[in-house]
Amino acid sequence: MSFRRAIAGGVILGAMLVPLRPAAAQQRSAATERSVEEVSAKLLAWVADPDPAAAAALDARVRAGVPPGALLAVLDALARTPRLELGALLHELACYRSVDVRARALTAWAAMGDEAAPQAIARAAADVALPVRRLAVALAQRHPSAAARATIEDLLARDAELAAELAAPAPVLIEEPQDVVVEDEP
């Protein structure tokens, strides 16, 4: 077979395969979505199960790696249903590379009670990301304490950007006269 003929055959073969790729990708995507849903369902069942063995299984599975969406769902569930046995896992996830994961881990950590909340607020206040430092203020409002108040005062003293943001008045939404609907009184 000549080189030209081989190239022509490859082009034809390549052209025949191109339409198959999107369908295969869609099948893989659907399978991945199903598997993420299945993993999420299993993890959320462990969150809801009060058995310490379920908490241990959840800890092990998260440490082994889970899809990002499943991890966020677990952290949201832990914020609603705190599990003290998962405190060490939440401490580690509070240092995760993703801002969303850190923020949700800190929220779940703070929900673990009066002793945990000031620690979570202090960790949030020390974060490199402004959204997480902003979360420290919200957590301090949700879980008030003398320690939380001191942490936020210290945060605002050293974080001029956040202090200015919080000091700025909330924007006032003004409606245009044509947008205001006045009903006639009978």
When pLDDT is cut at 50, 70 and 90, the band that residue 181 belongs to is: low
Cα gap 88→25, rounded to integer Å? 38
The pLDDT, as a whole number, for residue 169 is 84
What's the predicted TM-score (pTM) here?
Answer: 0.74
* 162-179 confidence digits (pLDDT tens): 999 999 887 776 666 555
pLDDT category at 183 given cuts 50, 70, 90 is low
pLDDT for 8: 44
DSSP 3-state of 49: coil
Q: Are 48 and 81 in contact (CB under 8 A)?
A: yes
Domain parsing of the chain, residue ranges: 113-158
pLDDT digits (tens, 9 = 90+) for 112-164: 999 999 999 999 999 999 999 999 999 999 999 999 999 999 999 999 999 99
Q: If you average pLDDT over every residue of the chain, what do you get?
A: 83
- Element holding 16 (H helix, E strand): helix 3-17
pLDDT score recorded for residue 19: 46
C-alpha distances in angstroms, 15 versus 3, 7, 9, 11, 28? 18, 12, 10, 6, 21
How far apart are the C-alpha atoms of 118 and 135, rounded to whole Å?
13
| The residue type at 16 | M
Q: Which residues of 76-103 are buried (b: 16+ CB within 10 A; e: fewer)?
A: ebbbeebbeebbebbbebbeeeeeebbb
